[in-house]
Structure 1
Amino acid sequence: MFQEHEYRENLSLMLSEVLDDIGVNERMVMRRRRHYMLKETLENIMYRLIDTFNMTQYYLGSQSEGTTTRGLDSDVDILVCSHVYNIIQDWSEWEHGKRNYLMIQDENTTPGYCFLQLLLREVPLPATYIPNEHHITDRSGRILFKNTVLHGMVPGVVEHGPSLARQGQHGLYDSDHVLALPCKSLHQSASGLLDRQGIGRWPTQDMRRYAASTGCFVVPTGSKVSVYPELEWRISTTLAERCLIFNLNITQIRCYVLLKMILKSFLNPQDEINISSFMCKTVLLHCIENTESSIWTENNLFICLTYCLLELHSCVQNDRCSHFIIRENNLMAGQFTAEKKHELLKKISDFLQNDKQKLLTIDIDDLGHRLQVKLNMVPNGAYQYLSSIEMNEHFMTSEYLNKAYVKSLNHMLVLKHLQNKNIRTMKHCIGKLITFNVNGNRLDQAAFKFLAPFLFTTFGSILASFSIGENDQVSPRALVWLSAGLNSDISSSRLKLASVLYSTGDMEKAELILRHTEQQYYSYPVVLICGCWDKPLPAVTAEYKRVCGEQSEDCIKHITSFCVRFIQEEINCVPHELQYEMFRSTQDDRIHRDQLIDYWMDWAVVDSLPFLYFLHYKIYRHLQRHQDQKQALSKLIRTIVTDVNLSHRETALNILGQCMEQENRPQHALNCYLLSLQQRARNNVAIIHICKLLSGLLASQ
């Protein structure tokens, strides 16, 4: 008996070490959480800045909780809360002018679900008319909101129950977007959480108090056993649940990760979903509540895992897994046929009887192989897998690339919002952003550091464009804003400043900035990131991975190069060769645009490195430094030919073609334009350049 206990304790410690090696440790869990909480903050600040979407997004699930691994390859769950709606439980919560709905639970609703009754916007009374096809009158004369409101609304996604799955989008994990409507108060059925405390005094009083403040949501899906599946809305306490998960210790998190690995390897083979990870999470929470907190330690991990599996077996056997917060909601109601239930019970029992051997066969993240090495069952080096340092570098590289990609997308949204706006509107936007930095929390301040340089640079460039248009000079105020935004990344904001100086004829200062930017570019392992269109994230070097693994997120501005974007309001700061890009589309071309994502085609957008060498070429030509001019042109050509990560190669070819025209090499220029058309056949100004070139040649003859 003693030997068995010692073996289990040793196995627990070895399991903990293996999970530590594959990234399930406190450092990585916290970094994952910060990554997604910052991303959440960034996007919600964007929504507040641009005043377009009256909504809030929440990043939920395994990725944001830090309860996943590389091998589990979890999706990102995004809850999209629309503030146009107001869901109430009490008439005192009714708000004038909003789309108010009253939660109804009666003998016709499944526990954990509700109907939504439409109320009037002007007075707190039930509506008596059907406003559209998304509503229906029930037998009692109530106007109820149907949960089918989402069907077919969003293009490019796959509907899975209440969620919209977006797959295959480069630069981002596959994601499930769930539309939710907000209720300010925690649902009455969840009030039991506030009064109870488990054996281990968990959840704590602070956790329960916070849970009460988060309110709840309703999600458009009915129960599988519902009589009215199109009318039911599921009550979601997802923010309270996130609070609980964020307060788990590392052994509890490792136990949850192991449960998901067992689920994927043995209980849900070939992506068949029998038992969901949410059920496993719920089982874990019940186990934590019903045990002494002292057992959840590294040397008890194997025992804790066994306890959770026994509880899961009991849930399947009794066809009941109570939602942790809303107890009457049975997550397993209508989930399994008798045949499937028998199969699952057999699989769980088989694992429990052969748990040690089964763990050794888990392929996810090489867990089984790693465990065999830790237990001295095979010699060290018998299996090849990523070391803990490599796992850390892989995750951090993925995180920083992802964060840079999101940064690029947010920059595009800012520019889309600022185009066709006056200076007062732009200043108001900047003022709101500064407010987040002054009055916000640490995440708000971190988000400010990500967004502000782009906004400052664009505002400075717009001011410069206005002043250049009036008197061919850059106002001191414009230069202040341009200087304030120089640290957006390693190149794009500096190149904008250089372009402004070039446009006013200040060639010496512009050349100095370009020379410094080029030196910086080759001092770090830089990658080019562009969110203008969907493409794979760039391949990175070992040196780039090393920097990501060792440095904080602040290093992103030193190892990332964004494309340079000019909106129409900045046109006087753009070299005339690049201005053509703002007029790339004929009316026929516009038919071949995706209006949701191709709005950038009315701007001048160019990759940083080609633009740097193009500006160098133009400046050296103006300064009559012919050898430097020739060298800059050679670098521009080499970059276009060899840099596989260019996102706007057609634009680079177009400006190269114009350089060739200025070099009196019309055949080379024509070749550049034709190559550009091969890159992008539609919405490409190369066709205009070809017409101009041929027209000029004919006129000269």
Structure 2
Amino acid sequence: MQNPEHFTAMSIWLSKVLDDIGAGKETVMERKKTFLERECMATLFQTVCGSTAQYFHFGSQSEGTTIPGLQSDIDVLISSGKVKIMRVWVDWEAGMCNFLMLQDDMTPPQQYLLQVIKFYTPKPVMSLCDVMCDNCASVWDDRWARTDSGEVLMSAERFKQDLAYKYRDCELTKNGPSVSYIPNWDIVVAYIVPKPLPEIQHWIDRFMGRHWPPVQLLEAARIAPCFLVPSGHPDSDYKREEWRLSPNLIERMLMFSFNLTQIKCYIVLKLIKKSLFSKVVGDSITSYHCKTIMFFTLERTQPCLWCEHNLMFLLWLCLHELKNSLRFGRLPHYIIKGVNLFDGKLSKVQQRHLLVYIDSMISNNLQDIFCMGIDNIGSRLKACDVLRIGKTCELGRVCLRNSISLLLMFDCLSRFLASFTFYTEELVGSSFTTFEQDIMNKIRTCVEYPTNARLKTVPLRVIKRLFLLQISIRISNRLRLRNVLGSESIRRVQYSLNSDVASSHLKLASQLYCSGHFHAAVRVLEDVDRRYHNRVKAVCGHRILPDDQDIDTFANMISSHNDKVFSELPFAFCVSFFRQEMYCAPFILWFEMNRNTTAEEAAQRYYIEKEWMDCAEVDARTFLHYLQYLTYGGLGERDNQLHTLRVFECFINDIRNHSKIHHAETAINLLGHCYEMEGDYERALQYYELSLHCLGTNNAANWHVRRVLRLING
């Protein structure tokens, strides 16, 4: 194939445009780093709580192969640590839930059945009596199915139904093997297969000695585990029971070996899929098809071709690869032999329509890419002049890169806060004496957690948070016993003050206020007030605001006159108090720890709300104003106290701030309590009723309204 002359100039233009819309080297590496940190963090929390489950982020976010305009989902795979997958009988392990992988001539390639094996005897479960005699009747449930020949199988479809029932309070999204309770996430719970498989060995042997994949990658693939995900073949008689073998980790190794030109080529393929192919075949062509095309094209081209000025020609080669697959009606799985990726995805009619379109596209020298609308890439290409790319474009590129970096960090921190609350809920439910030992064990687990140097910040972040919680509960216990808060406790709190702009400082200020150290509390609050500039973004682990995923929100945080890195991360966590910390919090927040007035009201909470609604949770900016009002009042500085109340009220009533407050009902409750302390019960009642208008149930305002009505009525 000849490389058309104008392709070189178009390639450079296209590469620059991709840099402008978020596919530059720095952003690609930032995405990879962030999602590796996130999976490390999620697995660490499981380990801290004694679980052997592992989290993996796969797909475009962790590969760095996306841009904001593609609006890519977040893909997470959770491997269950409670199950032993057997390839052969010698793999059986006593006391474990053992499943034997079954495959015969009737089973489609890549598909397996999982036969249930007894707990304490290496024999198949054949009936309910077998299970009861084996003392594991509790394992018998609706997830099991029986074949005509009598084998008891773990049904993939019933497995997913069981997950859906667990999250029945949430709005679920089901897609293939995924059962997700988080919007824009694909969550797959799978079983890990630790032993080498013949399918993988066959692939490694086939590619040994070739230029791609590299030898080091193939050697690593020998020991990489695979996964069994709950998804059957569309044409199989046992599609409800079948599990699909997925070599996700090997595919991620292949993707991580891509250079920047290969990443950009893959991103453009996905842009073509979403902007152009979708008009012909809808969503039938997936990112996985594009990824597989990339693998085959890489294997069949010389490495020297993969450079920036060949980008258009490389796209042309990829489309030729897809065209040939459509002509033969078969796109093989890159690793597992005998699998056709068109099965169940692309009908014969759709294959013919797409073949005609791609043939036309190739004949037209890929001029259709000028019609792609995502991120205005077509318009950018038409207007692009490589000779004019200068300071203005560079400033815009830097701004977008920094905005994406802030968005990635924001998402990572919000997941951290959510996970911390979820995994410490059991911890803070223990007695004070048990708590001390439990938290030290968890800190020790974090210290010993094996990870490479680049991910050491993850356990350190968890250790700091656990340490801060430990100190806070100790201080609360001292204040409950009416003991004096010593300087040693303050020094220990200071170890964790740099977690964010405000929350840990505000917690310290609250502890100082509750112990009567008003002057010290004011100094801390004044420091927070100075650092809490107008570009600080609130971070909550439990509630999502519309602006939280808008790239423009993060672009506005970056000064148009200063593209330097922030001196500290411009994020402020919500301030939370567990019940064991109640004596470190102002009395009004105790009601937030008891939001419901009846058991029926508590039963109305959604699944995620159950994780945090027994805590007091308040936005940092809101808590800052409330604490300032209390401390100035404690010092008798009436003018400062009234000034703070006016600022607080203006902040709550300013419509521009409504999209910045995650716990609006709590913020309004605190403002109402300020007026209650002022003796203005009518105004306090108005604010409490406004809070109930925001959230009618599981709202502490229900308690406040009753109390104020009693005060009004004498």
The question of a shared fold, defined as TM-score above 0.5 by the shorter chain, is answered with yes
1: CA distance, partners of 2:561 / 2:174: 36
Partners of 2:562 and 2:416 in 1: CA distance: 20
What amino acid maps onto 1:9 in structure 2?
T
- State how 1:333-352 maps to structure 2 within 5 Å: 333-352=343-362
Distance in structure 2 (CA, Å) of the matches to 1:138 and 1:428: 46
* Residues 389-538 of structure 1 aligned to structure 2 (within 5 Å): 389-423=398-432, 424-433=434-443, 435-437=445-447, 439-474=450-485, 478-522=489-533, 525-538=535-548
Contact 2:221 2:250 in 1 (8 A): yes
Deviation at 1:641, TM superposition (A): 1.9
Matched residue, 1:613 = 625
**Native 8 Å contact 2:400 2:555 kept in 1:** no
Equivalent position SS for 1:577: helix
Aligned: 1:202 with 2:226: no
Residue deviations 1:481-540 (CA, integer Å, cap 9, x gap): 422221121111111111111111111211111111111113x62112223334324574
Distance 1:631 1:411, change over 3 A: farther
Q: Distance in 2 between matches of 1:694 and 1:454?
A: 40
Aligned-partner Cα distance in 1 for 2:43–2:674: 43
Paired with 2:608 and 2:7, the residues of 1 have a C-alpha distance of 56
> Could you state the TM-score of these two structures normalised by the residue count of structure 2?
0.89
SS in 2 for 1:181: strand
The equivalent residue for 1:576 is: 587
Q: 1:430 to 1:480 in 2, by over 3 A?
A: farther
> 2:235 pairs with 219, 225, 232, which one?
225
1:634 aligns with 2:646: yes
State the partner residue of 2:38: 39
Which residue of 2 is the match for residue 673 of structure 1? 688
- Residues 8-56 of structure 1 show CA distances to partners (whole Å, capped at 9, x for unaligned) of 32322222222222222322111111111111111111222234x6522
Q: Which AA in structure 1 matches 2:644? A: A
Structure-1 residue corresponding to 2:60:
62
8 Å contact kept, 1:264–1:271: no
Equivalent-residue separation in structure 1 for 2:562 and 2:198 (angstroms): 46
* Aligned equivalents of 1:461, 1:271: Cα separation in 2: 58
- In the alignment, which of 585, 595, 612 is matched to residue 600 of structure 1? 612
Determine if contact 1:649/1:679 at 8 Å carries over to the other structure.
yes
- Please tell me the residue identity of whatever aligns with 2:172: V
Code of the residue aligned with 1:686 in structure 2: it is: A
Hey, what's the Cα distance between the residues in 2 that align with 1:416 and 1:81? 22
Give 1:689's aligned residue. 704
- Give the residue type in structure 1 aligned to 2:669: N
> What is the alpha-carbon distance in structure 2 between the residues aligned to residue 511 and residue 376 of structure 1?
56
Q: Distance in 2 between matches of 1:542 and 1:75?
A: 21
Deviation at 1:183, TM superposition (A): 0.7
Looking at structure 2, the residues matched to 640 and 689 of structure 1 have their Cα atoms a distance apart, in angstroms, of 18
Q: Does 1:649 align with 2:658?
A: no
Q: Structure 1 pair 698/89, CA: closer, same or farther in 2 (3 Å)?
A: same
Gap change, CA 1:254 and 1:135, over 3 Å in 2: same
Give distance in 2, aligned partners of 1:98 and 1:549.
58
Mapped contact 1:396–1:548 kept (Cα < 8 A): no
| Residue 323 of structure 2 is aligned to residue 313 of structure 1 | yes
Cα displacement (A) at 1:605: 2.1
Q: Is the 8 A contact 1:490 1:560 kept in 2?
A: yes
Could you tell me which amino acid in structure 1 is paired with residue 304 of structure 2?
Answer: S
- Counterpart of 2:673, as a letter, is Q
- Is contact 1:366-1:385 (8 Å) kept? no
Distance 1:358 1:469 in 2: 71
Whole-Å separation in 1 of the counterparts to 2:492 and 2:499: 13
* Segment drifting more, 502-511 vs 666-675: 666-675
What does 1:74-113 correspond to in 2, within 5 Å?
A: 74-113=72-111
Q: Which amino acid aligns with 2:668?
A: L
When structure 1 is superposed on structure 2, of 317-326 and 238-247 the one drifting more is 317-326
Q: What is the rounded CA distance, in whole Å, between the counterparts of 1:90 and 1:621 in structure 2?
A: 73
Q: Is the 8 A contact 2:48 2:445 kept in 1?
A: no
Deviation at 1:658, TM superposition (A): 2.8
Distance 2:682 2:643 in 1: 20
Moved more, 469-478 or 240-249: 469-478
- Given that 2:476 and 2:581 are in contact with CA atoms closer than 8 Å, whether structure 1 keeps it comes out as yes
Q: Distance in 1 between matches of 2:126 and 2:216?
A: 43
Instruction: Give 5+ residue unaligned stretches, structure 1.
Output: none
Residue 120 of structure 2, aligned match among 110, 113, 122 = 122
Distance of 1:651 and 1:667 partners within structure 2: 19
The SS at the match of 2:320 is helix
Q: Structure 1 residues 576 and 286 mapped into 2: Cα distance closer, same or farther (>3 Å)? A: same
Q: Provide closer, same or farther for how the CA distance between residues 693 and 142 of structure 1 changes in structure 2, counting only shifts above 3 A.
A: closer
Q: Which residue of structure 1 lines up, in the alignment, with residue 298 of structure 2?
A: 288
AA at the equivalent of 2:39: E
CA contact (8 A) 1:452 1:485 kept: no
How much has 1:209 moved relative to structure 2?
Answer: 1.7
Q: How many residues align?
A: 687
Query: Equivalents in 1 of 2:384, 2:208: separation in Å?
Result: 35
Alpha-carbon distance between aligned partners in 2 of 1:548 and 1:121, rounded to the nearest angstrom = 66
1:7 is aligned to 6
In structure 1, the residue corresponding to 2:683 is in which secondary structure? helix
1:261 and 1:362 in contact (8 A); partners too: yes
Which deviates more, 384-393 or 132-141? 384-393
Judge conservation of contact 1:71–1:364 (CA < 8 Å) in 2: yes
Question: Matches of 1:543 and 1:341 in 2, distance apart?
Answer: 45
CA contact (8 A) 1:157 1:164 kept: yes
CA distance in 2, matches of 1:551, 1:237: 41
Match of 1:26 in 2: 25
AA in 2 matched with 1:178: V
Q: Given the superposition, is the C-alpha separation of residues 386 and 226 from structure 1 closer, same or farther in structure 2, using an over 3 Å criterion?
A: farther
Deviates more, 1:508-517 or 1:687-696: 687-696
SS of the residue corresponding to residue 311 of structure 1 reads helix
Q: CA RMSD in A?
A: 2.9
- The 1:465/1:334 distance shift into structure 2, 3 A limit, reads closer
Runs of 4+ in 1 over 4 A off after TM superposition: 383-386, 546-552
The AA in structure 2 aligned to 1:544 is: M
Separation of aligned partners in 2, 1:376 and 1:648: 48
Aligned equivalents of 2:33, 2:347: Cα separation in 1: 41
Aligned residue identity for 1:412: T
